[in-house]
């Protein structure tokens, strides 16, 4: 069973400090939904509000259409996986997993059976009698998932559960979690500051900034069609050029920047007008070498190659324009790209579709 989760104008304040500001959104039943944002932006606070550990200062939270006001965490159809897992160190693995059933007063044999089934589900068969301290990080992770699933929640809440794992294991657990979610068929609300995690696993992502939900959409929407400067700079890498809009025609913006006039697409959700300040965002992979023949629909720049890094399938290049602006660019290592010496003057370009002009705003810290 899965339930939808609806937030209506939820605010969470700690004294004068606003941790969550006016969050309104609906998470569908059975959806894998992620909150993505930098550290301290209020993700955990929002999750704690959904699970019932934190009262919203104002606003309503509905789970399965039912207002959760005044319902404690032990009586909500949610289960929370904590940032540090919070397994019970003095219990065995199977006792940990079946704790929710022990609470319901189920007898020991049935509990053990259910725990073994869940161990099977999270690919840890036969490990029930170990103590949790005897498990590896990834195994603890799975036990935490099993323990939460055992409560048969309609909504599973996960607070950066993979952050303590090393890269390889993290990537493996992503697929694993996604598979478990599909098998269990329940709503997953996942919190992370790792965009790779959010983009690969989720049906939809909500990008948060200082307590505000900036944009909600699936991975490609958030990546390709950012609506705020923060989303553009936080999700994936982006070059930014600040300037002023000189003209808007056919949904294209002409922006006069310190690196010359640029033409780019705009966001329909955040339209710009002539004379507005604007920031043009260009992804490193949208920039390419263009020799001498800059095509007419493209934007061209001349810069010096300052630094380059080889990363197997990509070259990461750092350029500096005459005006002193740093530009990052990625070139596919397919043997067809030009090779340049450090210090060489190169001319690069990007298409109008490879750039987007947005209203200026807070940028994510690098």
Partner 1 sequence: MRNWLRTFLARNGIGLSVYLLGAVALWVIVMIILPQLFMLDFSFRNNWQQIDPSRMGGPDDVYTMVNYHFLAFGSPNNPDPFNVVDVTVFFRTIVAAICVTLFDLALCYPIAYYLAQVARGGKARLLVLALIIPFWVNELLRAFAFRILFGEEGTINAILMGIGILSDPIDFVREDVALYAGLGYAYILLMIFPIYNVIESLDKNQIEAARDLGSSWWRIHRRVVIPFAKPGITSGCTMVFMLSAGALAAPQILGGPSSLWFTQIIYQWFNTGSNWPRGSAYAIVLMLTCVLLVLILMKLFKVKIGEIGR
Ligand X SMILES: Nc1ncnc2c1ncn2[C@@H]1O[C@H](COP(=O)(O)OP(=O)(O)OP(=O)(O)O)[C@@H](O)[C@H]1O
Query: Is 193 an interacting residue with respect to ligand X (CB under 6 A)?
Result: yes
Choice between 42 and 226, CB closer to ligand X: 42
Instruction: From the list ligand X, partner 1, Mg ion, none, pick the one residue 275 interacts with, judged by a Cβ distance below 5 to 8 Å according to partner type.
Output: none
Instruction: From the list Mg ion, partner 1, ligand X, none, pick the one residue 238 interacts with, judged by a Cβ distance below 5 to 8 Å according to partner type.
Output: none
Choice between 82 and 314, CB closer to Mg ion: 82
Rounded Cα–Cα distance for residues 37 and 222 (Å) = 13
Query: Is 137 an interacting residue with respect to partner 1 (CB under 8 A)?
Result: no
Strand segments (E) across 83-186: 155-159
Q: 28 to 57, contacts with Mg ion by CB under 5 A? A: 44
DSSP calls for 104-155:
TT--HHHHHHHHHHHHHHTT-TT-TTSBGGGS-HHHHHHHHHHHHHHT--SE
Sign of CA dihedral 240, 245, 248, 254: negative
| HEC readout, 49-101 | HHHCCCCCCEEEEEECCEECCCCCHHHCCEEEEECCECCCCCCEHHHHHCHHH
Choice between 44 and 98, CB closer to Mg ion: 44
Choice between 44 and 127, CB closer to Mg ion: 44
In three-state secondary structure terms, 134 is helix
Q: 143 to 182, contacts with partner 1 by CB under 8 A? A: 147-148, 151
Shortest distance (Å) from residue 212 CB to Mg ion: 16
- Considering only residues 2, 34, 45, 330, which one is a binding residue for ligand X as defined by CB under 6 A? 45
Rounded Cα–Cα distance for residues 161 and 191 (Å) = 8
Residue 27 makes CB contacts below 8 A (sequence gap 6+) with 4, 5, 6, 33, 187, 189, 204
**Per-residue DSSP letter, 8:** E
Query: Is 44 an interacting residue with respect to ligand X (CB under 6 A)?
Result: yes
Instruction: From the list ligand X, partner 1, Mg ion, none, pick the one residue 204 interacts with, judged by a Cβ distance below 5 to 8 Å according to partner type.
Output: none
Binding mask 56-95 for partner 1 (x = CB under 8 A): ----------------xxxx--xxx-xxx-xxx-xx----
Number of residues that bind ligand X (CB under 6 A): 12
Tokens for 349?
């370009």
Instruction: From the list ligand X, partner 1, Mg ion, none, pick the one residue 74 interacts with, judged by a Cβ distance below 5 to 8 Å according to partner type.
Output: partner 1
Tokens for 235?
């999700």
Inter-residue contact 278 to 243 (CB < 8 Å): yes
Positions in the binding site for partner 1 (CB under 8 A)? 51-53, 72-75, 78-80, 82-84, 86-88, 90-91, 99-100, 102-104, 147-148, 151
Positions in the binding site for ligand X (CB under 6 A)? 14, 17, 19, 37, 39-45, 193
Positions in the binding site for Mg ion (CB under 5 A)? 44
């Amino acid at each position: 069973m899965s339930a939808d989760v609806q937030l209506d104008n939820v605010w969470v304040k700690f004294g004068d400090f606003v941790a969550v500001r006016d969050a309104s959104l609906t998470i569908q039943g059975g959806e894998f939904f992620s909150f993505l944002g930098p550290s301290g932006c209020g993700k955990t606070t929002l999750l704690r509000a959904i699970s019932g550990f934190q009262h919203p200062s104002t606003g309503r939270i509905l789970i399965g259409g039912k207002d959760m006001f005044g319902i404690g965490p032990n009586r909500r159809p949610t289960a929370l996986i904590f940032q540090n897992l919070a397994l019970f160190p003095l219990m065995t693995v199977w006792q940990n997993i079946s704790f929710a059933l022990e609470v319901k007063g189920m007898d020991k044999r049935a509990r053990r059976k259910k725990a073994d089934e869940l161990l099977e589900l999270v690919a840890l068969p036969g490990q029930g009698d170990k103590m949790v301290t005897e498990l590896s990080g990834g195994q603890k992770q799975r036990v935490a998932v099993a323990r939460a699933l055992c409560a048969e929640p309609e909504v599973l809440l996960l607070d950066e559960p993979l952050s303590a794992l090393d890269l390889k294991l993290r990537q493996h657990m992503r697929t694993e979690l996604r598979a478990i979610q599909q098998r269990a068929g329940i709503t997953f609300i996942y919190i992370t500051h790792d965009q790779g995690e959010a983009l690969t696993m989720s049906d939809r992502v909500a990008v948060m900034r200082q307590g505000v939900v900036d944009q909600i959409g699936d991975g490609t929407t958030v990546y390709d069609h950012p609506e705020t400067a923060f989303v553009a700079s936080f999700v994936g890498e982006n070059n930014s050029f600040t300037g002023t809009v000189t003209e808007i025609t056919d949904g294209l913006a002409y922006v006069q920047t310190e690196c010359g006039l640029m033409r780019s697409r705009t966001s329909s959700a955040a339209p710009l007008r002539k004379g507005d300040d604007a920031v043009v965002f260009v992804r490193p992979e949208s920039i390419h070498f263009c020799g001498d023949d800059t095509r007419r629909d493209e934007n061209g720049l001349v810069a010096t190659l300052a630094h380059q890094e080889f990363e197997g399938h990509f070259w990461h290049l750092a350029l500096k324009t005459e005006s002193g602006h740093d530009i990052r660019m990625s070139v596919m290592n397919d043997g067809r790209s030009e090779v340049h010496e450090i210090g060489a003057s190169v001319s690069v370009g990007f298409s109008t579709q490879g750039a987007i002009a947005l209203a200026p705003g807070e940028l994510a810290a690098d």
